[in-house]
Structure 1
Amino acid sequence: DGGDTWQGTAVALKTGGEAIVKAQNYLGIDTMVGHWEFTYGKERVKELIEKLDAKFISQNIVGDDPFADEYEELIFEPYTIEERGGAKIGIIGQSFPFTSTANPKEFTEGWSFGLRLETLQEYVDELKNEKKVDCVVVLSHDGFSVDQEVARKVKGIDFILSGHTHDPSPEPIVINATVIVIAGSHGKYIGRLDIDAKNGKVKGYEYKLIPIASNIIPADPEGVKLVNELYAPFDKEFNEVLGKTKGMLYKRDTFFSTFDQLINDAIMDEMKCDVSFTPGYRWGTTVLAGENILMDNVYEMCGITYPDVYTFELKGEKIATLLEDIADNVFNANPLYQHGGDM
């Protein structure tokens, strides 16, 4: 699991992420890294990890509170070694390196995030030379462009399972013998990677990006039962009809999304302001033209742990600087400074 999983839906917010952990355990997730998970705060993250059957790993999160026991220590295990089909696979975790700047710092105060390519190289070498694994995989929430740069700078990674930027890549990208794959977001695809590895070497691989057509693939009865049980306490609130949309409402595009426009219009109407900004994160269920807008749909777009609306008086120069800074985070010419695909 590449992260951004515990947060972003009504049932996730209402249960502090626990409903999603139950779903992950049902699915049989083996390993996980994080990003928006951390917006529940450090203590809640630790509580959820205790409930999670999977291993939560990250080589790039270090304690930076000089008065804490974990000062300059890894917060999580950096890697795990899994045996599959007779092969030893080393999996290194790479959570979102810009978490403490992309999200409010109070959620992770005392933890330091970063790419940490030097230590990543050390763990790759350790797995290959000391642990004698047959294959090294990085489970990453860096972003697709960033991971391509990681492959250029860190030697010996066999595969990067990329995330964060929601890109679906039908074919792998190979850089310096490192194979990078990314399978989109929101359950629209499953990425299947078959690896032939033995005696410390990858001999071959096959990759498929498989579309998930929910109107063709029958639902799993046990999965449906679990989802219904998790949603049952909130059914009345979530299914409240707030209106009907004439056009398609979505929140997926880097530059403009119709649900963002609806949110901004609502803020401007309520706050009596001239300009409104809303975070451009790209998630939530698309509402098709003519469909009802449910409370659940609004939660999917706005249900974060810090949903406050603030008003300021800003001059045009300040607004222009703000927009330039945001654009720089998305489109920086150096991939290592790109924070993601959200405007």
Structure 2
Amino acid sequence: MELNIIYLNDVHGYLEPHNELFYNNRDEFTESVGGYSRISTLIKGIRQKDSTSLLFDGGDTFHGTLPLVSSKGEAIIPVLNELYFNAMVGHWDFAYGPEQLKNLLSKLNFPMLGINVYNEDGSLFLQPFITIQKENLKIGVIGICSNIIDKTTPSEFSEGLKITDGIDELPGYIKQLKNDQVDIIILLSHNGFPQDMHLLKKVAGIDICLSAHTHNRLYEPVLVNKSIVIQCGCHGSFLGHLKLKIEDKLITGHQYELLKVGSHISPDAEMEKIIHTILQPFESVKNNLIGSTEVTLHRYNTMNSSMDNLLLNAVKYVSGTEISFSNGWRYGVPIEKGNITEEDLFNIIPMNPPVSTVDLTGQEIIDMLEENLERTFSSDPMKQMGGYVKRCSGLRINLRIENPVGHRIQEIYFGEKQLNPKEIFKVSFVTSQGVPKNIGKNRKVMDIKAVEAMTEFLKAHPKFDVNDDNLFALV
């Protein structure tokens, strides 16, 4: 028999086609891709050809755009139920708190899985696995949610919860499924590609790993021992299609295609209606022109981000500071050179937090950045806890990523001089992921929020062009 696995991860709330960043041998360029109506067409086409198809969502689904954040994730429920996934896992899906996540899950026609998310009393918050029968084949699906939910995200994400990396728990669930005569075991994981590679080297018994979180575009499966690993980019720009050849209940071959959800795919009419209904209240935001950009803005680079350059210059502008920080978020589709709308600004930072200020010593800044660099580049994959490198404006940091913990920064400049560890700097930031709550003094929350800050900045600088004052540089 042939078993078809269809996989989607890290859509981050992008319901419609959008700009996506692509590369050739010389340049970056954008192309309009994605959208659940096109995704629906692809999924229906695969299902019509073969009834032995399974569909999975790798998480980061309920959050990422204004319609989802303003509805605390509920806007996308009709879309997900129309597609009918077999299971999902989560990360930013916890953004509205555990109780709201429970509410969202109660409205889905499929479960979220997680062997590693615990209530305070030690019980599991989520269902750990499911089993699926396809002809004479019994399939087990185990879920691992992101292990950083209670470590690097705002505390309300995980109130009353404890999250592990799932490595210690996984062998027991594999054994349980094997004892239940399961033939094929699929791991649905939001820990990230490096973390999943590490896990699969330590834990035997996983046949397929559906990886997420790190937004890798894997054009070919990666084999780890006997496990087949796939991951499918982000924002719904790609759909993974893995065909497994099954003989005597064993995988004897596989074919894989990373399908670009491009304009050549006709939209599904029923899904188009659902999405139109969801987005209709937000038409004014989509059409509200705020300013323009002289270059394409994106945050797809590990070290620096043209998109966050706009955000952080705006944060400095409204706060009157010379240094600003934000988290190294991965999500947020590119803004092509040209007009910037209010919708674009919300896509940059959909939760629209207030701008804050705090007094930091030079040493606190250095320590904060060193901690972030370790979380980004740790030689131990399970200690990699971030998106990309923390974004900053007003500093220049020369670093060596191969150096040991606490010694990656070689030089850090503020203006023309190296940063004085003893000097106190008033800095601005957005969210506790920008500057953690446990450092600094005189922390103040301003009355202005991030989107309003960018709006004011663009009124004063209507043709934005990226400057180079936020460079992390390898030396």
- Number of residue-to-residue matches in the alignment: 333
More displaced 10-residue stretch of structure 1: 1-10 or 280-289: 280-289
Q: CA RMSD in A?
A: 1.5
Q: 1:227 to 1:185 in 2, by over 3 A?
A: same
Q: 2:72 aligns with which of 16, 23, 38?
A: 16
Structure with more strand by fraction: 2
Greater CA deviation, 162-171 or 113-122? Answer: 113-122
Instruction: Give yes or no for contact 1:172–1:181 (8 Å, CA) kept in 2.
Output: yes
Equivalent pair of 2:149/2:157 in contact (CA under 8 Å): no
Matched, 1:73 2:119: no
Task: Establish whether residue 295 from structure 1 lines up as the match of residue 342 from structure 2.
Answer: yes
- Poorly superposed stretches of 4+, deviation over 4 Å: none
Residue type of the alignment partner of 1:84: K
Q: List per-residue Cα deviations over 1:57-109 (Å, max 9, x = no partner).
A: 10001112xxxxxx111111100011235421100000001111121123312
Indicate how the Cα distance of structure 1 residues 55 and 84 shifts in structure 2: closer, same or farther if over 3 A, else same: same
TM (normalized to structure 1)? 0.93
Which letter does structure 2 place at the counterpart of 1:124? I
Q: Aligned equivalents of 1:183 and 1:5: distance in 2?
A: 14
Work out whether 1:269 is the aligned partner of 2:317: yes
Amino acid at match of 2:123: E
- SS of equivalent to 1:102: coil
SS in 1 for 2:354: coil
Q: Deviation per CA, 1:260-319, whole angstroms, max 9, x where unpaired?
A: 0000000000001111011111222212112x2111111111112x72322111121111
Q: Does 1:137 align with 2:186?
A: yes
The letter for the 2-side match of 1:297 is D
Give the gaps of 5 or more residues in structure 2.
1-56, 390-475
What is the DSSP-based 3-state SS (H/G/I as helix, E as strand, rest coil) of the residue aligned with 1:277? strand
- Corresponding residue for residue 273 of structure 2: 225
Please give the alpha-carbon distance, in whole angstroms, between the structure 2 residues aligned to 1:207 and 1:85: 22
Residue matched to 1:4: 60
Residues 76 and 199 of structure 1: is their aligned pair in 2 closer, same or farther, counting only changes over 3 Å? farther
Larger Rg: 2
Structure 2: how far apart are the matches of 1:178 and 1:285?
A: 31
- Structure 1 residue 205: Cα displacement: 2.1
Q: Among all aligned residue pairs of Structure 1 and Structure 2, give the percentage whose two residues are the same amino acid.
A: 32
Counterpart of 2:90 in structure 1 is: 34
2:210 equivalent to 1:161: yes
| Structure 1: gaps spanning 5 or more residues | 65-70
Q: Measure the CA separation in 2 of the matches of 1:33 and 1:281.
A: 19
How is 1:109-124 mapped onto 2 (pairs within 5 angstroms)? Answer: 109-124=159-174
**Normalising by structure 2, what TM-score?**
0.68
Taking structure 1 as reference, are residues 301 and 86 closer, same or farther at Cα in structure 2, changes over 3 Å only? farther
Residue 118 of structure 2 corresponds to which residue in structure 1?
62
User: Are the equivalent residues in 2 in contact too, given 1:138–1:157 (CA < 8 A)?
Assistant: yes
SS at match of 1:233: helix
Counterpart CA distance in 2 for 1:119 and 1:32 is 18
**Contact 2:144–2:166 at 8 Å: present in 1 too?**
no
Shift of 1:137: 0.5
Contact 1:135 1:197 in 2 (8 A): no
After TM superposition, list the pairs within 5 Å mapping 1:1-343 onto structure 2: 1-64=57-120, 71-128=121-178, 130-197=179-246, 199-213=248-262, 215-290=263-338, 292-304=339-351, 307-343=353-389
Alpha-carbon distance in structure 2 between the residues aligned to 1:314 and 1:209: 45
